[in-house]
């Protein structure tokens, strides 16, 4: 995988309260990950007004944090938002996309479904001071769970995060064996990275999925980020929706498994 320079954190903001919070998370991520910032606003009116707002916001960010900021305001309606974002992604190839969640959850779920770039969803909670100090990675029995591992390694190597891997104590013997296989694989990969800080937690998830269990666990250890992967086997409902809209308002990094999936060089 190639090393990238001048790469962006892309923030899609509607300039609402959640949209401004998304910008704050973008600033934090840009500083921690040493990336530039790209602010995108899609609106069907007030284009010039929003340009002025983003210009002022960008200048303030640059002055206060010395971050290179690019901003772009374009006309669009909500059902065209994904197409616009996908066009911007092809143009700038960002490391991450950050989106504030309000009444746009359907759009976000659709974007996650088709995105090769990880999407971090945020609500109204401001980023923690040490938001990436502890990162929670729920691991189940699926083979897709392994794909979260490399992103966890990236964060640990880049910003010194401690990664908390959650493995459920499955009651079903077949699922338990699959989970144990993932645990063995995880430890094997991590053995190649002596600088990566991590902890393995075997947990009793009860009737909750391990992703749901991760919400309360993240709250207890003051984690600012949980990494999950989209479950492609659900057609009538999206289990990710419940996690993204979690009442603790913990930021969720959503990965989507596809053949073009990108992971930073680790």
Whether residue 264 lies inside any domain: the answer is no
Structural domain count of the chain? 2
15 and 105 share one domain: yes
Phi-psi sector, 132: left (phi>0), alpha (psi -120 to 50), beta: alpha
Q: What is the DSSP string of 10-25?
A: EEE--SSHHHHHHHHH
Q: Please determine, for residue 168, whether its predicted confidence score (pLDDT) is greater than 60.
A: yes
pLDDT at 209 over 50: yes
- Give the chain's end-to-end CA distance (angstroms, integer): 9
When comparing pLDDT for 165 and 240, which is higher? 165
Please indicate, yes or no, whether residues 106 and 154 belong to a single structural domain of this protein. Answer: no
Residue 260: inside a domain, yes or no? no
Coil vs helix vs strand at 169:
coil
Q: Is the pLDDT of residue 231 over 90?
A: no
Measured between alpha carbons, how far is 15 from 102 in angstroms, rounded to an integer? 11
Q: Provide mean pLDDT across the span 186-209.
A: 93
User: Looking at the structure, do residues 25 and 100 belong to the same domain, yes or no?
Assistant: yes
Task: Give yes or no: residues 138 and 118 share one domain.
Answer: no
Q: Assess whether 185 and 227 both reside in one domain.
A: yes
Secondary structure (3-state) at 34: coil
Same domain, 146 and 169: yes
Domain end among 122, 150, 167: 122
Cβ neighbours around 196 below 10 Å, total: 20
Do 82 and 110 meet the contact criterion of CB atoms below 8 Å apart? yes
Residue 62 shares a structural domain with residue 149: no
Print the domain residue range for 60: 8-122
Q: Please report the pLDDT score of residue 245 as a whole number.
A: 95
Asked if residues 105 and 72 have their Cβ atoms less than 8 Å apart, the reply is no
Q: Give mean pLDDT, residues 61-71.
A: 97
Span 141-151, pLDDT tens digits: 777 777 789 99
Q: How distant, in Å, are the alpha carbons of 5, 140, 200, 253 from that of 186?
A: 29, 12, 10, 19
Q: Looking at residues 195-203, what average pLDDT do you find? A: 96
Is residue 59 domain-resident? yes
My answer on whether 250 and 141 are in the same domain is yes
**Would 74 be classed as within a structural domain?**
yes
Residue 91 maps to a domain? yes
- In this prediction, residue 235 has a pLDDT band, given cuts at 50, 70 and 90, of very low
Nearest to 155 by CA among 129, 130, 182: 130
Distant-in-sequence, close-in-space partners of 49: CB < 8 Å, separation ≥ 6: none
Flag whether 266 is in a domain: no
Rg (CA), the chain: 18
Confidence label for 232 from pLDDT (cuts 50, 70 and 90): low
Asked if residue 225 lies in contact with residue 250, where contact means CB atoms within 8 angstroms, the answer is yes
Q: Is 3 a residue whose pLDDT tops 50? A: no
DSSP tag of 78: G
> Any idea what the CATH number is for the domain that residue 61 is in?
3.40.50.620
Q: Is residue 3 part of a domain?
A: no
Same domain? 189 vs 118 = no
Query: Do 70 and 23 belong together in one domain?
Result: yes
Among 62, 97, 122, which residue terminates a domain?
122
The least confident of 35-39, 94-98, 120-124, 147-151 is 147-151
CA angle 63, 66, 71 (to 5 degrees): 75
């Amino acid at each position: 995988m190639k090393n990238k320079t001048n790469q962006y954190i892309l923030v899609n903001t509607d300039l609402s309260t959640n949209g401004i919070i998304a910008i704050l998370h973008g600033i934090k991520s840009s500083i921690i990950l040493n990336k530039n910032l790209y602010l995108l606003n899609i609106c069907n009116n007030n284009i010039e007004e929003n340009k002025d707002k983003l210009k002022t916001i960008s200048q303030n960010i640059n002055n206060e944090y010395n971050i290179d900021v690019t901003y772009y305001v374009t006309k669009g309606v909500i059902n065209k938002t994904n197409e616009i974002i996908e066009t911007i992604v092809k143009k700038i190839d960002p490391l991450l996309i950050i989106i504030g969640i309000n009444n746009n959850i359907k759009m976000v779920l659709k974007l996650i479904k088709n995105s090769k770039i990880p999407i971090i969803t945020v609500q109204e909670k401001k980023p923690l001071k040490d938001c990436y100090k502890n990162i929670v990675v729920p691991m189940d029995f699926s083979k897709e769970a392994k794909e979260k591992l490399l992103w966890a390694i990236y964060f640990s190597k880049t910003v010194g995060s401690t990664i908390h891997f959650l493995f459920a104590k499955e009651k079903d013997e077949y699922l338990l064996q699959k989970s144990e296989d993932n645990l063995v694989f995880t430890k094997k990969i991590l053995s190649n990275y002596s600088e990566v800080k991590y902890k393995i937690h075997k947990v009793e998830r009860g009737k909750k999925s391990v992703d749901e269990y991760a919400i309360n666990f993240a709250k207890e250890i003051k984690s600012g980020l949980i990494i999950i992967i989209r479950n492609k086997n659900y057609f009538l409902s999206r289990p990710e929706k419940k996690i993204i809209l979690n009442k603790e308002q913990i930021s969720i990094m959503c990965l989507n498994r596809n053949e073009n999936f990108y992971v930073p060089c680790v």
